[in-house]
């Protein structure tokens, strides 16, 4: 996604926005919408940032637990809970995501 299209991952969307995307869990994922549903149970290590600047992404595991490791660009490991969103906050200075479990 081009940085010119940063609004596509904004947490403020209207009906014409990109909506919600569902992708298979994998070692590396590339979200293109603010809210992404993950299917499967493959451990996640890297999230490819859709834009260069500070941004937030929300991930929801729909099939069960996904282990999020620190081998890529995620600072702290975490295990998801099915259908409970987590928020990833990107720090472009470190090139890393912080995890905030949304409860």
Contacts of 39 (CB under 8 A, 6+ apart): 22, 23, 24, 25, 62, 63
Q: Where are the domains of the chain?
A: 3-101
pTM score, two decimals? 0.85
Got the DSSP string for 1-66?
A: --GGGGGGG-S---TTS--EEEEE--SEE---SSEEEEES---B-EE--SSSS-EEEEEEESSS--
**Could you say which of 1.10.150, 3.30.450, 3.30.70, 2.60.120 is the CATH number of the domain covering 3-101?**
2.60.120
Question: pLDDT tens digit string along 23-68?
Answer: 999 999 999 888 999 999 999 999 999 999 999 999 999 998 999 9
Beta bridge partner(s), residue 86: 59, 101
């Amino acid at each position: 996604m081009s940085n010119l299209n940063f609004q596509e991952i904004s947490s403020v969307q209207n009906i014409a926005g990109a909506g919600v995307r569902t992708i298979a869990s994998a070692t590396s994922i590339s979200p293109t919408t603010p809210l992404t549903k993950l299917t499967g149970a493959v451990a996640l290590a890297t999230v490819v940032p859709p834009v260069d600047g500070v941004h937030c992404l929300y991930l929801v595991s729909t099939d069960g637990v996904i282990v999020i490791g620190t081998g890529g660009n995620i600072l702290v490991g975490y295990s998801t809970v099915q259908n409970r969103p987590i928020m990833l906050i990107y720090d472009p200075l470190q090139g890393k995501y912080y995890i905030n479990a949304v409860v």
